[in-house]
Every structure is written in C-alpha cells, then in structure tokens.
C-alpha cells in the first residue's frame, strides 16, 4: 500500500506541472522572450509546487493517513488468519479434531477467511487508487484553472512544467514557480475558509433542529 501511494503521488507530480522566501505576486520574474521568435516562455518546478502548494500538502496527508489505516487493517486481519492457520495445524498434529468432518469444516472456514482478506485488500487498494485519481484530477484542474486566470495578465505563450531532467537547462528568469505557488495558496486559503464557514453554518442549523 505504501508503494501504491508513493507511485500515485509521483504520478500526481508528473501530471501537475518547490524556498521559504515567498515573493509577492507583483515580484514575479520579468517576462522572458525567446530570442528571434517573440514567444514568451515560463516554467514551473513540479517538486516545489507539490511541496509548497497547501492543497497538495493537505491532500497528501489525507492519502497517507488512509494508506496507513488500510495497512494496519490488513495487518490485523492477516495476523488473525495466521493465528487460525497455526491453531488448525497444531490441532491437526495433536489429533485435536474429533472427526474428519470437523477438521474439514475448520479448514473451509480458514479458506473463507483467506478469501475475505484478499477481497478486503483489493477493495482498500481500489479505494485508495480512486482517491488518488480524484486528487490527480483536482490538482490538475486547480492548476489549469489558476493558470488561465493568471495568464490573462501575464500573457505567456508557453508555460512548461519542469520535473527531474525533462528540461535539461532553463534560465532562472523563466521561472515563475513561486509566483504561481503564492497565487494558488492565496486562492486555496479563501476557498478553505469559505468551506469551513459553510460547514459551521450547517452544524449550527443541525443543532437548532
């Protein structure tokens, strides 16, 4: 499950397109123009985005918690199954069954327990995969929607995502990462506060009823 989460977060980083010093929105780098072509280009560092965008950080914590809970549940169920197997084997070795039918009945019960565990594992992994996919889509939509509004004023022709060595070299004057992160976090803070107020109103209404 841990491996699944790690891979999923890596996919989210690749699909989304990380310094404590955060310049204000109006302190972003000057517009960079590709020589000879008049094309305005900028790029965003994916690692910085994932580590500094509060929405991504909050969701990552949620996914990690769900992964941990699922792993703990599977470990508990696995231990119970192993205890049942050990008990069955011990009774079998010590002639602890009064009849062949009793032994077969307990063996069948262990097999059902094993199938249930496999089904539970598949379900929990599926739920985590779906949750991760929702995160990927929400992160992509959040970034894309922000960049549409952001670029109305900045008017870049191309905004690239830089992850690993997919861009071998880029001049820092093309880097708008911190400006984008600041804008995303500002918008997310407002959305989060609005959601919290909505939840509080619902709770107050429920208390009155």
Residue 161 is predicted with a pLDDT of 95
Sign of the Cα torsion 80, 85, 88, 89 reads negative
Domain chopping of the chain, boundaries: 2-208
* Token couple for 165: 């060595």
Where are the alpha helices (H) located in 16-154, listed in sequence order? Answer: 46-52, 54-93, 100-154
Residue 38 is predicted with a pLDDT of 82
CA angle at 103 for the pair 98 and 106, rounded to the nearest 5°: 125
Q: Is 164 helix (H, G, I), strand (E, B) or coil?
A: coil
Q: Which DSSP category does 95 fall into?
A: T
Q: Is 207 helix (H, G, I), strand (E, B) or coil?
A: helix
27-33, long-range: CB within 8 Å, 24+ apart, which pairs? Answer: 27/179, 28/154, 28/176, 28/178, 28/179, 29/172, 29/173, 29/174, 29/175, 29/176, 29/179, 30/173, 31/154, 31/155, 31/156, 32/171, 32/173, 32/174
Residue 77 is predicted with a pLDDT of 96
71-75, long-range: CB within 8 Å, 24+ apart, which pairs? Answer: 71/1, 71/2, 73/120, 73/124, 74/1, 74/117, 74/120, 74/121, 74/124
Q: How far apart are CA 109 and CA 86, in angstroms?
A: 13
Q: How far apart are CA 13 and CA 161, in angstroms?
A: 10
pTM for this predicted structure: 0.71
pLDDT tens digits in sequence order for the chain, 209 residues long: 444 433 333 333 333 333 344 444 444 555 555 554 589 999 999 999 999 999 999 999 999 999 999 999 999 999 999 999 999 999 999 988 989 999 999 999 999 999 999 999 999 999 999 999 999 999 999 999 999 999 999 999 999 999 988 999 999 999 999 999 999 999 999 999 988 888 887 777 676 66
């Amino acid at each position: 499950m841990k491996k699944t989460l790690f891979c999923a977060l890596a996919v989210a980083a690749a699909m989304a397109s990380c310094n404590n010093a955060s310049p204000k929105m109006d302190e972003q780098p000057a517009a960079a123009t590709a020589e000879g072509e008049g094309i305005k280009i900028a790029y965003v560092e994916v690692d910085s985005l994932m580590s500094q965008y509060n929405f991504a950080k909050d969701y990552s914590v949620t996914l990690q918690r769900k992964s941990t809970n699922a792993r703990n549940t599977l470990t508990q169920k696995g231990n119970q199954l192993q205890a049942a197997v050990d008990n069955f084997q011990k009774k079998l070795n010590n002639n602890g069954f009064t009849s062949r039918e009793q032994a077969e009945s307990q063996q069948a019960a262990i097999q059902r327990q094993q199938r249930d565990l496999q089904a539970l594992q598949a379900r929990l992994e599926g739920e985590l995969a779906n949750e991760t996919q929702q995160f990927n889509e929400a992160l992509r939509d959040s970034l894309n929607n922000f960049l549409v509004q952001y670029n109305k004023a900045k008017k870049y022709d191309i905004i690239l995502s830089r992850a690993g060595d997919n861009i071998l070299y880029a001049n820092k004057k093309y880097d708008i990462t911190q400006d984008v992160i600041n804008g995303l976090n500002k918008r997310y803070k407002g959305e989060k506060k609005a959601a919290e107020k909505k939840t509080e109103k619902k709770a107050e209404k429920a208390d009155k009823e």
